[in-house]
């Protein structure tokens, strides 16, 4: 078989030449073929080695007319889900579309101040309005999740029967195959991707205070206030630009992080006193039972971030929280890690879950006692990986 040698020549910021050499034995001559690839303006702006951009030109043509758009976030929406869906909604409204955000269920109190939050439909509560909005839409945008099951059973069924196309903007691994896609697992947040989506459309000047506030919020919450490894210089440049365009950073941090109830702090105290540490595996976990949640008047969002206290221990690289949820009859799990140990893989392999390399979640059917036993029994298998995960 003939050997082909490929040479990549970068000719400018906008193009790349691929030159192939092959020696043709029968004719005793060297064959050289050359192909020039011109990047579209989108690639120039946001390209990265992990980006998937599919159907973008077609999507832009589709959106060149005024459309009815529904934007959906995942079940138990967090700051990134709410910030990205609302940020994109404000942007599409400015582009002349009619846009509705539909989320599967309740989201934490500390996100209700977000601009546009009051017009959001909750699929479980406002089912008729949500179904109607979905049925009347020309396209659905799926934000901050990679697979339809992440919206929960009932809403998943509705989406599976949807007859128009989906567009996905998301940073989770292994995205479902939809017609239009902008996926990049190396970007810290879907909010940063929405910013870059607006940038790709040459529309940064449309970013006003509302859009800037929503996008800032999701970038802040998904990066642990700009401290996780996924935070890049580009993230900081985007954050700076969002401040210039009206995001009030002190107000946003205050609204999200300094809005605790007394009960939430007491619940945190309970969680910390339930902490168990396994130094030989550099692992720690926290548990919360339904009874403990009740005792401290648990509200949606109260356990958000609690797992990070386990990870904040010196020498700990793997942290988990197991939270009893009688409503769903499961144990809801969050995993966090420092360094190379992939909690996404761990959650996929053992707990029906997924997420990112350093932050993932999953579920377990059984009691708190059973999950503790199951989890502890898994640790020896990962001893080497855990011990070499992170060098400070």
Q: How many residues bind Mn ion (CB under 5 A)?
A: 4
Contact between 170 and Mn ion by CB under 5 A: the answer reads no
The token pair at 287 is 């548990």
**Between 213 and 358, CB nearer to ligand 5GP:** 358
The token pair at 199 is 């940038």
Binding site partner of 360, from Mn ion, ligand 5GP, none, Cβ cut-off 5-8 A by kind: ligand 5GP
Pure H helices in 313-355: 343-350
- The SS3 call for residue 90 is helix
The token pair at 63 is 């959106």
**Between 80 and 210, CB nearer to Mn ion:** 80
CA distance 244 to 212: 9
- What 8-state DSSP symbol labels residue 301? T
56, 72, 80, 116: residue in contact with Mn ion (rule CB under 5 A)? 80
Residue whose Cβ sits closest to ligand 5GP: 361
The token pair at 183 is 């996926």
**Which residue from 283, 354, 272 is spatially nearest to 306, judged by alpha carbons?**
272
**Which residue from 354, 309, 84 is spatially nearest to 219, judged by alpha carbons?**
84
Contacts with ligand 5GP, residue ranges (CB under 6 A) = 334, 353-356, 359-363
Q: In the bound complex, what is the minimum distance in angstroms from residue 144's beta carbon to ligand 5GP?
A: 7
**Between 114 and 185, CB nearer to ligand 5GP:** 185
Report the 10 Å Cβ neighbour count for 50. 11
Backbone Cα Rg of the chain:
23
- Residues 273, 274, 278, 284, CA torsion sign: negative
Contact between 184 and Mn ion by CB under 5 A: the answer reads no
**Between 245 and 336, CB nearer to ligand 5GP:** 336
Q: In the bound complex, what is the minimum distance in angstroms from residue 169's beta carbon to Mn ion?
A: 10
**Between 42 and 110, CB nearer to ligand 5GP:** 110
Site string for Mn ion, 188-227 (x = CB under 5 A): --x-------------------------------x-----
Please give the residue ranges that form the binding site for Mn ion (CB under 5 A): 80, 144, 190, 222
């Amino acid at each position: 078989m003939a050997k082909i040698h490929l040479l990549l020549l970068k000719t400018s910021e906008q193009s790349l030449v691929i030159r192939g050499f092959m020696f043709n034995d029968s004719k005793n001559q060297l064959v050289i073929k050359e192909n020039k690839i011109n990047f579209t303006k989108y690639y120039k702006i946001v390209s990265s080695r992990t980006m998937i951009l599919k159907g973008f030109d077609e999507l832009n043509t589709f959106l060149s007319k005024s459309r009815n758009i529904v934007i959906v976030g995942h079940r138990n929406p967090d700051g990134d889900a709410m910030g990205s869906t609302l940020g994109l909604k404000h942007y599409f409204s400015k582009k002349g579309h009619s846009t509705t955000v539909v989320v599967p269920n309740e989201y934490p109190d500390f996100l209700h101040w977000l601009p546009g939050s009051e017009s959001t439909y909750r699929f479980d509560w406002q089912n008729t309005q949500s179904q109607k909005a979905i049925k009347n839409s020309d396209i659905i945008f799926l934000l901050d999740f990679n697979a339809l099951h992440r919206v929960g059973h009932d809403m998943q069924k509705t989406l599976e029967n949807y007859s128009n196309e989906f567009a996905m903007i998301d940073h989770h691994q292994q995205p479902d195959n939809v017609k239009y896609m902008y996926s990049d697992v190396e970007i810290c947040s879907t909010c940063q991707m929405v910013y870059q989506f607006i940038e790709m459309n040459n529309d940064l000047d449309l970013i006003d205070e509302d859009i800037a506030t929503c996008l800032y919020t999701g970038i802040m919450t998904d990066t642990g206030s700009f401290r996780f490894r996924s935070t890049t210089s580009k993230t900081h440049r985007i954050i700076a630009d969002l401040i210039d365009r009206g995001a009030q950073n002190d107000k946003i941090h205050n609204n999200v992080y300094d809005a605790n109830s007394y009960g939430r702090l007491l619940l945190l105290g309970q969680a910390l006193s339930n902490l168990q540490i396994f130094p030989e595996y550099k692992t720690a976990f926290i548990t919360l039972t339904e009874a403990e949640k009740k005792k401290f008047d648990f509200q949606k969002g109260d356990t958000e971030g609690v797992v990070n206290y386990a990870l904040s221990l010196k020498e700990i690289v793997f942290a988990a929280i197991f939270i009893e949820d009688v409503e769903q009859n499961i144990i809801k799990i969050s995993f966090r890690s420092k360094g190379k140990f992939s909690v996404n893989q761990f959650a996929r392999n053992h707990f029906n879950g997924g997420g990112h390399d350093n932050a993932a979640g999953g579920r377990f059917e059984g009691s708190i006692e059973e999950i503790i036993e199951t989890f502890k029994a898994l640790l020896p298998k990962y001893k080497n990986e855990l011990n070499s995960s992170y060098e400070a």
